[in-house]
């Protein structure tokens, strides 16, 4: 298992082992089965941090079959291997499920099935359970345990649910940006001898929970968003993806929306943010207007949304400009916007990336930037979808503090998450959805 703070090179190392790094500056050598990684691609399977980036086909079965067809697997063998891989990860639908109808967690499980179907000798996994609910994550770990049981495969795993994944690995390697390997050994030994030090460096280790924010005085909560019998049904589906339900989002409170993959959490967040028109029911602001009817400028002035895919919200060519955009649109001076951007870049460790294009950042950096852009505009309501995805421990602590401060200042926070320890540390209320 590879551990390290954000930016330590974990994902880059996986890309190198998969033979996917081209260009740039490098030193030293990488070998897979004694040859350059690019020559060993037929023996390697990788699951990316962003599963959507690897999906190329319109239906789930075809997605898993795609790699087998490219490897020239005999046609009669393809579909049995597809079905075997889908069952192995407990994919909840059949082959014909449209890939664009899958939640982020379901996409992740499908991407893992596509990798396992290739039966690789080297399996590279970058946060394979990050978008999965606890039960789904347990199913994936069970699948990996069965795959590894024969001793015929090697797995390199990047994972922030360290305590849960420790039983899958015999060795832990800890990376640090600019320093290479700083710890290497059996999990129990590394965590016992270096646990406090690694946690202080921002690395997830067992038995180091998130700190609970101090309970400072807050204003009496008031309803900011009011959802009445709200429901959404995707075209062509027989049942509603969400609802109908009643729900209030209140000032000076943090509301966590939890539940299994496919239960409609992200869909509900889009409706609460005024970005999706409910099929039935309504979501109204304090003035009584339906949110989806508001012009974009009015909606953005009152509600800050963080999407499940952070790339869907980037609008400028640099990290600094992205952070200044919201304050400038709210009539802040350039100096005020720059000061707010600098503060957030410092706290969320984005300062070295100030002039970088947002689309070139790592998955964890993109998530930090997407949350920071929402915070920068100081909206009355924050709707966040998986705010801690891909984050190291240090950043999760900073996010916890920033959101707690927003709540203390009277802001309303609603966040979708599978990160139950984070929800326990921040949420005043929780709404659990069922499939």
- Give residue limits of the domains in the chain: 2-200, 223-432
Topology at the third CATH level for domain 2-200: Rossmann fold (3.40.50)
Average pLDDT for consecutive 10-residue bins of the chain (435 residues)? Answer: 86 90 76 89 87 88 95 94 91 91 83 92 89 82 84 88 87 87 91 90 87 89 95 85 92 95 90 95 93 90 88 92 92 93 92 93 86 90 91 89 93 94 94 87
Which residue, 218, 248, 247, is CA-closest to 231? 247
Map residue 428 onto helix, strand or coil.
coil
CA atoms within 13 A on the CB side of 212: 7
**The predicted structure's pLDDT at residue 67:** 93
Distance CA 258, CA 309 (A): 18
Q: Give domain 223-432's CATH number out of 3.30.365.10, 3.40.50.300, 3.40.50.2300, 1.10.3720.10.
A: 3.40.50.300
* Distances 212 to 68, 125, 382, 397, 423 between C-alpha atoms, Å: 48, 31, 20, 9, 10
- Phi, psi angles (nearest 5°) of residue 195: -55, -50
Q: In the structure encoding, which two tokens stand for residue 286, read together?
A: 């304090």
- Closest of 186, 206, 187, 188 to residue 196, by C-alpha: 206
Specify the pLDDT at position 98: 92
pLDDT at 308: 83
Alpha-carbon distance 136 to 138, whole Å? 5
Do domains 2-200 and 223-432 share one topology? The answer is yes
Tell me how far the alpha carbon of residue 394 is from its chain's centroid: 16
The confidence score (pLDDT) of residue 25 equals 65
Write phi, then psi, for 8 (nearest 5 degrees).
-85, -10
Could you tell me the CA-to-CA distances from 430 to 157, 337, 420, 425 in Å, in that order?
31, 33, 10, 12
50: left (phi over 0), alpha (psi -120 to 50) or beta: beta
Please give the structure tokens belonging to residue 316.
């400028």
What SS3 class is residue 369?
Answer: helix
Alpha helices in 149-286 (DSSP H): 162-165, 187-200, 265-272
Cβ atoms of 423 and 250 within 8 Å: the answer is no
Listed residue (334, 398, 404, 333) closest to 372, CA to CA: 398
Decide: 433 and 257 in contact? Cβ < 8 Å: yes
**For residue 279, which of 267, 287, 289 has the smallest C-alpha distance?**
267
Q: What are φ and ψ of residue 339, in 5° steps?
A: -65, -45
DSSP β-ladder status, 44-47 and 172-176: unpaired
Residue 57 contacts residue 96 (beta carbons within 8 Å): no
Q: What is the pTM of this model?
A: 0.81
Taking Cα atoms as reference points, which of 79, 81, 106, 103 lies closest to residue 92?
A: 106
């Amino acid at each position: 298992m590879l551990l390290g703070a954000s930016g330590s090179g974990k994902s880059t190392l996986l890309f190198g082992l998969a033979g996917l790094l081209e260009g740039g500056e490098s030193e030293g050598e990488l070998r897979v089965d004694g040859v350059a990684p690019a020559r060993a691609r037929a023996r390697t399977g990788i699951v990316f941090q962003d599963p959507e980036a690897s999906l190329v086909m319109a239906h789930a079965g075809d997605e898993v079959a795609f790699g087998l067809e490219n490897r020239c697997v005999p046609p009669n063998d393809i579909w049995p291997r597809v079905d075997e891989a889908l069952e192995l990860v407990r994919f909840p639908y059949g082959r014909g499920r449209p890939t664009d109808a899958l939640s982020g967690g379901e996409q992740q499980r499908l991407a893992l099935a596509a990798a396992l179907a290739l039966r690789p000798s080297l399996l590279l996994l970058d946060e394979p359970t990050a978008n999965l609910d606890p039960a789904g994550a347990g199913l994936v770990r069970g699948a990996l345990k069965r795959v590894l049981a024969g001793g015929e495969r090697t797995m390199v795993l990047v994972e922030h649910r360290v305590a849960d994944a420790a039983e899958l690995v015999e060795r832990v390697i800890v990376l640090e940006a600019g320093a290479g390997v700083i710890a290497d050994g059996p999990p129990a030994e590394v965590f016992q001898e270096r646990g406090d030090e690694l946690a202080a460096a921002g690395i997830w280790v067992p038995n180091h929970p998130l700190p609970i924010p101090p309970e400072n005085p807050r204003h009496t909560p008031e309803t900011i968003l009011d959802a009445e019998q709200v429901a959404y049904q995707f075209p062509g589906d027989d049942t509603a993806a969400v609802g109908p339900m009643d729900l209030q989002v209140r000032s000076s409170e943090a509301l966590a929306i939890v539940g299994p993959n496919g239960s409609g959490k992200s869909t509900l967040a889009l409706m609460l943010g005024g970005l999706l028109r409910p099929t039935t029911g309504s979501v109204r602001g304090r003035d009584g207007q339906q949110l989806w009817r508001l012009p974009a400028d009015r909606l953005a002035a009152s509600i800050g949304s963080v999407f499940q895919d952070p790339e869907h919200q980037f609008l400028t060519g640099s990290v600094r400009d992205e952070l200044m955009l919201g304050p400038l649109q709210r009539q802040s001076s350039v100096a005020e916007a720059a000061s707010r951007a600098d503060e957030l870049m410092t706290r969320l460790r984005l300062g070295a990336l100030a002039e970088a294009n947002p689309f070139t950042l790592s998955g964890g950096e993109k998530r930090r930037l997407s949350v920071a852009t929402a915070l920068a505009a100081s909206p009355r309501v924050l709707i966040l979808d998986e705010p801690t995805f891909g984050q190291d421990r240090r950043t999760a602590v900073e996010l916890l503090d920033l959101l707690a401060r927003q709540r203390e200042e009277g802001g309303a926070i609603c966040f979708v998450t599978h990160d139950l320890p984070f929800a326990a540390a921040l949420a005043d209320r929780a709404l659990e959805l069922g499939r």
